[in-house]
Chains A and B, each alone.
Chain A
């Protein structure tokens, strides 16, 4: 692990939070897309 000096806490928390937010956004987007796709398939089968 590299040495971040006296700002280690700040840098790591900033990166951690940001990457978590980005990851969350991507994950949420993809998950919702999957759900809606599956739902659409079901609906098309039922009411097609």
Chain B
């Protein structure tokens, strides 16, 4: 059986529905472990003081903000090429999650910036590109919401997601070029682990795993919701057509 059979809405629901609650609980547990560990059982960093604890929310949410967009891009491509409804709806389901992740990264970063850089906001490249990413999410979600016909909405948002991805990459480079910035480098890359001591790194890893799990379970749940909503709309449309035009 090919993987595409899961693109049938009914089959998708049947397969995922039993899993979703368990996944939710699992992600809650992993998140709880990571966050409690990070909040209560990590030391302070010498340069950051206790403010380093913000990292356990800041970095995972920043990662997920980008990964959610990547997932939407893949799902949009699948919809455009193979026209599987589930993938269009999954892209739609992922967007608000990605947007909240972006918002968390922005807010935690802004709050962190006040003690570290002495300002809430700086036009630093990474901050700026997150602001732009946030705008992309907003536009994408608003476009979905504004188009009444679901297929047209799926088509147009997919085109936007494709074009938007290209421009998101462009603006990342543009922003880097424009301002060299205050923000930390990517010191978390796997080959340079020595930058961050294990005391910070391990709980952070758990938090990241928790965020990934949370994202997956929320996307599955929301996709199911979207499918059910479409089913309601389809049944109502059929019922409406049954009524005579004129008595």
Contacts and interface: CB of A to CB of B under 8 A. Distances in A.
B84 interface: no
A39 B232 contact: yes
Interface string A1-44: 01111111011011101110110111001101100110110011
A6 B222 contact: no
Contact of A29 (B39, B48, B225, B236): B225
Given A5-B49, A8-B50, A43-B235, A14 B228 contact: no
Contacts of A36: 225, 228-229, 232
Interface residues of B, number: 37
A3 B214 CA distance: 30
Nearest to B51: A7
Interface centre among A8, A37, A47, A48 (most CB of B within 10 A): A47
Interface string B95-116: 0110010011001100110110
B40 interface: yes
Contact of B232 (A14, A25, A33, A40): A40
B157 interface: no
B44 A14 contact: no
A10 B112 CA distance: 7
Contacts of A5: 44, 49-50
Contact of A22 (B40, B104, B224, B238): B104
Contacts of A47: 235-236, 238-239
Given A11-B54, A26-B218, A43-B235, A18 B108 contact: yes
B97 A25 contact: yes
B218 A25 contact: yes
Interface of B: 39-40, 44, 48-51, 53-54, 57-58, 61, 96-97, 100, 103-104, 107-108, 111-112, 114-115, 214, 218, 221-222, 224-225, 228-229, 231-232, 235-236, 238-239
Given A11-B50, A14-B107, 15 more contacts: A7-B48, A7-B51, A10-B115, A11-B54, A13-B111, A18-B104, A18-B107, A21-B103, A21-B104, A25-B100, A25-B218, A33-B225, A36-B229, A44-B235, A47-B239
